[in-house]
Amino acid sequence: MTEPIASRPYMPGYGLLDASQGTGLLPWSWARERLERSHDYWVATVGADGRPHVMPVWGVWVDDALWFSSSRASRKARNLAGRPQCAITTDNAYEPVVIEGEAELIDHPAAIAAFVSKTNEKYGTEYSIEFFSSPSNACFRVRPAWAFGLTESDFTGSPTRWTFSPGTS
């Protein structure tokens, strides 16, 4: 993966320091570590009627993308089928990472097997590939178009936005 471009986000009224002050721009490795170790992720989608929907999911960071599953009948899966754009956050409000991208429905057995293996390893579960590839469940992969992170302990000196070139995330 090509490293994303880091910059200070535009946040008027928050008193952000210049990128050379405070903690400075956070490295992408900082965000990736938090994406890998987060236990839960919050997935935000938008329905056909424009209503937002946010739900927690288990997930794994694999090959520079966040993978998660859902019932195909769930509101989030139905929303993603119509509008694949979504935002996902980690579970730590003191060092959050937010990614935005498009959810891709994954149905390739080898890709699902890799997801199942990583999920079982991370959560201590024993799911089978059949569970995630059944007609009632869906596997999604979200490659970030951009990401955002900060540390609560240096709120004005750490906010960082990472922008990914198309096809590099």
Please write the tens of the pLDDT for every residue from 59-107: 999 999 999 999 999 999 999 999 999 999 999 999 999 999 999 999 9
Determine the pLDDT at residue 94. 98
Q: Beta partners for 85?
A: 102
Name the residue range of residue 92's domain. Answer: 5-163
- Say which amino acid occupies 132: F
Q: What's the CA gap between 1 and 41, in Å, rounded?
A: 22
Q: How many helices (H) and strands (E) in the chain?
A: 4, 9
- Region of poorest pLDDT, from 44-48, 78-82, 102-106, 162-166: 162-166
| Mean pLDDT value across the chain | 94
Mean pLDDT over residues 40-65, rounded?
97
Q: What's the CATH code of the domain at 36? A: 2.30.110.10
Check the CA dihedral 25-28-31-37 and report its sign. Answer: negative
Residue 58 lies in a domain: yes
Nearest in space to 48 (alpha carbons), one of 100, 18, 90, 85? 85
Please write the tens of the pLDDT for every residue from 103-133: 999 999 999 999 999 999 999 999 999 888 7
Residue 35 lies in a domain: yes
DSSP track, 112-161: HHHHHHHHHHHHT----HHHHHSTTEEEEEEEEEEEEE--GGGTTT--EE
Residue 158 lies in a domain: yes
Residue 169 lies in a domain: no
Residue with tokens 């059944």: 134
Higher pLDDT pick, 49 / 1 = 49
Residue 150 lies in a domain: yes
**What is the Cβ-side half-sphere exposure of residue 134, based on CA atoms within 13 angstroms?**
10
Give the phi and the psi of residue 86 in degrees, each rounded to 5. Answer: -155, 165
Q: Residue 25: pLDDT band by 50, 70, 90 thresholds?
A: very high
Q: Is the pLDDT of residue 48 over 70?
A: yes
Residue 168 lies in a domain: no
Residue 138 lies in a domain: yes
Contact 68, 59 (CB under 8 A): yes
Residue with tokens 């935000």: 44
- Total count of domains within the chain: 1
Determine the pLDDT at residue 168. 53
Q: Is the pLDDT of residue 27 over 90?
A: yes
Determine the pLDDT at residue 133. 78
